[in-house]
A and B are shown apart, each in its own frame.
Chain A
Amino acid sequence: MNQLVVAFPFWHWLVEPLQYEFLIRAIWVSAFVGLVCAVLSCYITLKGWSLMGDAISHAVVPGVVLAYALNIPFAIGAFTFGFGATVAIGYVKSKTRLKEDAVIGIVFTGFFALGLVLVTKIPSNVDLFHILFGNVLGISQQDIIQTLIAGSITLIVILLRRKDLLLFCFDPNHAKAIGLRTQVMYYTLLSVLALTIVAALQTAGIILVISMLVTPGSIGYLLSDRFDHMLWYSVVSSVLSCVLGTYLSYHFDVSTGGMIVVILTTLFVIAMIGAPKYGILAQEWRKRSGPNPEDDENQTVVVDQV
């Protein structure tokens, strides 16, 4: 009896926000964005394109501002500038002797700065704060549609080209040697990366979207050394963080994007410490217990991941 009384207010606290339609909607949208980001995240982390993701996310700002000013869908402006930045990066890199990280740094800050100048000059109802940090609780019907379209295209492209893209990440030389067009794959991966960022813009904002593009894949990478499993761990951790983060951000009245990334990062820390094979604890344990006696032949397998 007593227990029920104690339990009831908690239950009430738990379900009370779920009667608000805007919150349910926000949870669905962020779960979808979490799914899209998680899938792409596996490819981006394996390819080593985290910095490229960061660059694209910053470079979309002028596109968003111009799109609002011209009254066209924000997704089109954002994609154009995000993808344009990657083309600019590729061009500058091939025409100069600069290293890639320098080129990326120059191009994306240039785009971002242009965005800042535009947003303060062009009269529009763009809230810079919302671009930077996302605003999924206040997302409009139109923005949801754009998010769904951008995300769905990404998922379909990856579903159809997943093996080629994985081969491209793993061994582009072999891809070329068997006659696949690596240039096409390069731009395919860049386009879906830009599309994913467009989809995640409203949820996480451009500052935090990089976390959603890097952390889930990294969690999967630490937990498994099979791509399929990695993908699942990535999706579960990402969707869970998005749903829980959106829900809790309402409760505690805190930034939604911030809450999502805090949870995601917490999951990462747990994986980093406790992963069965590549976790810090497991590595410590292996070091102490010496070489693995199960290993057939004497060619000892060293799994000293750095």
Chain B
Amino acid sequence: MADAHSTQSPKVHASIKHDSAPLHVTGTALYTDDVAEPAGMLHLAFGRSAHAHARILSMDLDAVRAAPDVVAVFTAADIPGDNNVAPVAKDDKLMADGEVVFMGQPIFLVAAKSTKAARMAAKLGRIDYDVLTPILTIAEARAANSLIEATQVMTRGAVDLDAAPHRVSGSLEIGGQDHFYLEGQITIATPMEQGGMHLLCSTQHPSEVQHLVAHLLHVNSADVTVEVRRMGGGFGGKETQASLFAAAAALVAAKTGKPAKYRADRDEDMEITGKRHDFTADYDVAFDESGRITSLRLELASRCGCSTDLSPAINDRALFHSDNCYFLENVELISHRFKTHTVSNTAFRGFGGPQGMLAIERVMDAIAVHLGRDPLEVRQDNFYGPGRDVTPYRMPVTDFVADRIVADLVAASDYAARQADIARFNATHPYLKRGIAVTPVKFGISFTTSHLNQAGALVHCYVDGSVSLNHGGTEMGQGLNIKVAQIVADVFGLNLDKIRITATRTDKVPNTSATAASSGTDLNGWAAYNAAMTIRERLAAFMAGRNGVESESVVFEGGVVRAGEEVLGFAEVCRLAHFNRISMSSTGYYATPKIHYDRKTHTGRPFLYFAYGASVSEVEIDTFTGEYKVLRADLLHDVGRSINPAIDLGQVEGAFVQGMGWLTFEELVYNDKGRLLTHAPSTYKIPCASDRPKALNVDLWRAGENREPTIHRSKAVGEPPFMLANSVFSALSFAVAAATGSRKLTLDAPATPERILRALREGTA
């Protein structure tokens, strides 16, 4: 019997397989590029900027137009409406118009009979530039005061760095990260009658693509339909970044009347699309003998790239997570958002949270190393607790469980004994050193832009008792669809084989938020529940009337409906309801309660609740080469009452390995002209199978239960476990310190072997 607050329902809280798994393993799951191509389809490629910053003086595209199999060539001048693909600030162009602001920026668009012909022709454009000096790095932008918005400051209390017995300062560089979704960016645009446009697009944000394309084509949003069945990975990289390719395909389809496909190749995808922001963090912290922080000044700076994109919210989230699990009584958090002539950085799993959190973890480690105290104890002494339970943005922390999770993890992972073993190993081995670290995670759940916290769903029951399920969330592998299907199946007391999961479409559920901020199940799960409950209540009323019982007494369970003495199969109930002219279709809607936030003062309750977790990692480094291995990692994560433990475990483990990649060898290298040199897997290395620690123990925290009324008391899981990887970085820092004996931590992220070696050198210098 469904009760969205119940923790006992059999369909939910079950490790049910991903609905598409049988399709994945047989190659029959259809991704956008797998859909059969209609005759006459055009294939697209951008002609792109050869400079990071320049004025376009003239363009000669004759050779492009004359190239074999080229059908048409378009520039910004051909756009009927807005030349804009930006999510918020209208400052991202589909194609450059007069000025280029990053290396590889699209300038013109080739439509040809084959992908190969389009890509070859795109190289033939002759463009004269007036080359300008680009601002490429955080340092250069700082010097030029180049910002995408005013520096933001979040403060509380009175920061006095001289008032405590101890004070440490330092800085940390934090690298960016490419999403490296395995399926690259892609859209197929098909012209429909009367100026309509259908887009099959690999996007996390169908509604935004719809609205941008409508404005770009100068048509109504209702004329544009965006459809997403599944993505081959997203991770935030298809939240705003899909719009560019969708807009290109839509423009060509509208102009030529032919279906058009933009399939970016890997290099182009990595050069054109935004990434996780790289940050610098400068800290100055005062603390007592125990390591408890009395005052902290933390200055964050990020490289936002050439436009606004989502950078304000991302940098805000870095601020929101600069406390992590620690009470900061007197604190000044400063956040610079720098504008550079590089690709516009964007959403990526964690959305600024990881950078803010890594900074405060470095502060904790710096305090511990300074005092010679156990870093775990320093952390525990700074935890939120009674009387120390308000964040720097004034949100009370009422659901803090990181202390209990850490205690459980420390016991289960044999932390203390291993610490002693490591000390012995380090004392004896001439050049290999080990490190171990425990780091906690507290991650705020809700979009911090409050109006985004809403969702819709559409459910139909058919007369044969089958159910069509649609909602505004998108499936990128995270298992959203199966979780929502479980929730709906539970409402009707049906098996999952009666629930048809359908593609996300803007003409079914309108005005949706991006599937982002870990919110997919929280929002769409409730919306679908509400839709299903509306239908169930109608059916229950009908059955109650037939049998002269109360509606509330009608039970939907095991494929049958019981009303008084009558027991009918669900299909029979649907058939009868139809004959009695009862609607078996309903929308459902959900808006997150309780949240509010005032961005001017940076105060409020931006989050409905927090998700928690902790990890302990042990690493070994070779002090001659800087090479390392993660020997063992133990993860314990709180997902509340899990709707699907198998899916949630997959998220936790996958996020950890992805986070490990970010902090270890995923390195974005730009040259001094602003060209990204690591634009393919040959040069940009994400973790492969052998990088997964040989010993990796992953568990969901059994005691977890959401205190807030989330769907079935579950907690969001997409992003929070990404930051479990922070313990890898701390452990590497300690291994370096074990070699140098230094009281200064100098390791920067990503901790490539080269950076480990540099930290070793700086530590001993």
Do A and B make up one complex?
Answer: no
